[in-house]
Amino acid sequence: MTGTDLALATSLLQSGHLVAIPTETVYGLAANALDATAVSKIYNAKQRPSFNPLIIHIASADEVVKYVTEFSPLAQQLAKAFWPGSLTIVMPKNDTVPDLVTAGLPNVALRVPKHPITLQLLSLLNFPLAAPSANISNTVSPTTAKRVAQSLGDSASYILDGGKCDVGVESTIVSVLENQVTLLREGGISKEQIEAAIGVHVRTQADEKITAPGQLKKHYATQKPLFLVDDMQDALRNHQTKKVSVLLFETMETTENQIPYLLSSDYNLSEIANNLFEMMHLADEDNSDFILAERCISEGIGRAINDRLLRASVR
C-alpha cells in the first residue's frame, strides 16, 4: 500500500513493521533501529547479507549522543555543515544500538535525511530508523515509490510516497575516528565539499574491508549485463547492429538499434546523478540485449556516479 499517511506510517513502525520512506538520496526500507526483531525483517525483506551494516536515520544532530560513545568536535563540524543532507557519519556506537544494525562492528552510521516528510515522521517517533535502500540487495536502488513497490512487493507494510528523490544516489559515508575523516563511500556530498567545509584533509579507505553500508563489490546491478566503456562514441560505432540500451550523459546520435536514455543533455553531473537509477531501471525493462554506460568525469559527484556504474557492471 502506497500513500502519504504519516499517522499510519508512525503506527506501523511503532508496531515493529517495515515502512518504505523517501529521502533526498533514494527511498529507504525503515524499521525501529533499536528493535533487533524489526531490524531483522529489513535483512530478510531485502535478502541482505548480515555482514552489511545499516544506516540509522535521526531527526536532528541533537540525537547523536544517544547512540555514540563520542560525538567529537570534528564530527560536530560535519553535522553542522551538512545535516540535514546526504552525508552519513560513522562514529563509535554505544550499547543502545543493537549489534545487528552495525553487523557486529563497533561503529554506527548516522545521518539526518533532507526530506520534509521523513523529517516529520522522525519527529513523531521516539526511536531512530534503520533504513537501507528499499529494494532487493544488489539491484538498482529506487528513487520513486513505484520502484519500491516493484522491487519489494508486499514486504513493506506501507510505502510513504514523497515523490521523486532530489539527489538520486545514496549518501556519502565518512568515518570520524581518532580525529581523522576517512571517505568510505562516494555519494551526494563530494570529498571537495567536505574538505572545504571543515578545512581537514579527507583520507580514502586503505583496504576493501566492509566497514560501512554500500561497499559490496557487486551492487546496484541491472538484470541484463551493463558494460562500462571509456568512450561512448567509439562504443556506439562498434555496436551499430546490436540491440543495445545506451545511457547518455549528453546528446549523441544513435542508430535504430540503439535505445538512448538521456541522463543530461549537457553533461550536468547533478542531473546525471538524479536520473541515473531511474534510467537504469528503464534500460533494464526494454528489449535490448545489454546496456552501455560511459565512465563519468572523475570529479565531485561524478565519482559517486562512477562508483555506482562500476559496481553495477561487475559480473
Residue 43 sits in the same domain as residue 180: yes
Distance of CA 55 to the CA centre of its chain: 10
Sign of CA dihedral 255, 258, 260, 265: negative
Determine the Cα–Cα distance for residues 34 and 145; give it in Å rounded to an integer: 25
Domain tally, the chain: 2
On whether residue 209 sits in a domain, the answer given is no
Same domain, 236 and 189: no
Residue 6 lies in a domain: yes
Please check the confidence at residue 166 and state whether its pLDDT lies above 90: yes
Report if residue 52 sits inside a domain: yes
Over residues 168-189, the mean pLDDT reads 92
DSSP H/E element including 202: strand 202-204
Residue 261 sits in the same domain as residue 182: no
Domain that holds residue 184: 2-204
Sign of CA dihedral 270, 276, 277, 282: positive
Cα separation values, 14 from 17, 34, 111, 129, 244, Å:
7, 11, 20, 11, 46
If you search the block for the grid coordinates 560536530, which residue do you land on? 76
Q: 186 and 234: one domain?
A: no
189 φ, ψ (degrees, to nearest 5) = -110, 130
- DSSP for 131-185, written as a single string: --BSSSTTBPPPSSHHHHHHHHTTSSSEEE---S-SS-SPPEEEEEETTEEEEEE
Tell me: the pLDDT tens digits for 33-51?
999 999 999 999 999 888 8
pLDDT tens digit string along 187-233? 999 999 999 999 989 998 766 666 666 655 556 788 999 999 998 88
Q: DSSP character for 63?
A: G
- CATH number of the domain that 236 lies in? 3.40.50.11030
CATH of the domain at 42: 3.90.870.10
Same domain membership, residue 8 and residue 156: yes
Given a cut of 60, whether residue 32 has pLDDT beyond it is yes
- What value does the mean pLDDT take over residues 146-172? 95
Mean pLDDT, the chain, as a whole number?
A: 92
Q: Is the same domain home to 30 and 87?
A: yes
Q: Is there a contact between 59 and 123 (Cβ–Cβ < 8 Å)?
A: yes
Q: What percentage of the chain has pLDDT greater than the value 70?
A: 95
